[in-house]
Amino acid sequence: MLKLLWTAPLSAKVGVLAILAYAFVALFAPLLAPYGETAIVGSSYELWSDKFVFGTDNIGRDMLTRLIYGARNTIGIAFLTVAIAFFVGGTLGMLAAILGGAYDMLIGRLVDILMAIPSLVFALLLLTVFGTSIPSLVLIIALLDSTRVFRIARSAAMNVVVMEFVEAARLRGEGMGWIIRKEVLPNITAPLLAEFGLRFCFVFLFIAALSFLGLGIQPPLADWGSMVRETATLINYNDITPLLPAIAIAGLTVAVNFVVDWMLHLSSGLRSDSH
């Protein structure tokens, strides 16, 4: 992996380093943050100073601390959501490609119905009904996103299940789980990994958007989307504090896209001359 990364384009290397930096901050947030996540340590909207590097928010919490903990909450919840979406959508997609027939048609029509409804509108409706707790947020977004994963997994698996080695496994009497794990999944890993990166970006931005609207990660937990909303009025006073969480969101999104572009290039089998 290190040898492969060494030959990667500069953009991919920058993307990997940025992702590792975000992951480090998310994992070690309690050690890096100068204050507690919900601690009120000053007055409202204090200016940047030696004591508060990025000032304080609307109720006097340290902005640097909130940014650090926001990495843990926003990235962690987005990653968990995408992992569930890929497990559900990927499994159903591979089963649809292998079984075909009525099962494929039934699941395909159900996915078409869910995809016909705008994701944001559907998510707002479901969150209003089931509440805005973190489990509800994760499961609802994972359900909506699994429809996209289903399409990708089914499309990729359809090109594999017609191969002779899959037919040979069936004739040997191998079970469905064995065929999926040993024959189908290893041959569609590359496009699924690239799609995982793209899905992570979409879910990450989706959760931030919901938090900005007040239906995502709820206070007092730190979240970059809600932080933009809470400090938005400072823009009127030429204060760039609201841009800090927005820059954090944009930075991770760009970094992941750099890596995804590289992975797509690798999976296509093309040779890159620009390192």
- What CATH code is carried by the domain that includes residue 140? 1.10.3720.10
For residue 192, being part of any structural domain is answered with yes
Note the pLDDT of residue 139. 92
Q: Which two tokens stand for residue 49?
A: 């100073």
For residue 29, being part of any structural domain is answered with yes
Is the CB of residue 216 less than 8 Å from the CB of residue 137?
yes
User: What is the tens place of the pLDDT at every residue in 59-102?
Assistant: 889 999 999 999 988 888 999 999 999 999 999 998 888 888 88
Note the pLDDT of residue 268. 62
Is the CB of residue 200 less than 8 Å from the CB of residue 148?
no
For residue 26, being part of any structural domain is answered with yes
For residue 273, being part of any structural domain is answered with no
Tens of pLDDT along the chain (275 residues) come to 667 777 778 888 899 999 999 999 999 999 999 998 888 888 888 888 888 889 888 888 999 999 999 998 888 899 999 999 999 999 999 888 888 888 889 988 888 888 888 888 888 888 888 888 889 989 999 999 999 999 999 988 888 888 888 888 878 877 777 888 888 888 888 788 888 888 888 888 888 888 888 888 887 888 888 888 888 888 888 888 889 998 998 899 899 888 888 877 776 654 444 44
> What is the span of the domain harbouring residue 124?
2-36+64-268
Q: Which amino acid is at 5?
A: L
In a 10 Å sphere around its CB, with 0-12 CB exposed, 13-18 middle and 19+ buried, how is residue 183 labelled?
A: buried
- Total of domains in the chain: 1
For residue 57, being part of any structural domain is answered with no
For residue 56, being part of any structural domain is answered with no
Note the pLDDT of residue 59. 86
Q: Which amino acid is at 190?
A: A
For residue 46, being part of any structural domain is answered with no
Q: What's the rounded Cα separation, in Å, for the pair 121 and 118?
A: 5
Q: Which two tokens stand for residue 216?
A: 């995502």
Handedness of CA 249, 251, 254, 259 (dihedral sign): negative
Q: SS3 of 193, please?
A: helix
Note the pLDDT of residue 236. 82
CB neighbours of 57 closer than 8 A, spacing ≥ 6?
44, 45, 63, 66, 227, 230, 231
For residue 247, being part of any structural domain is answered with yes
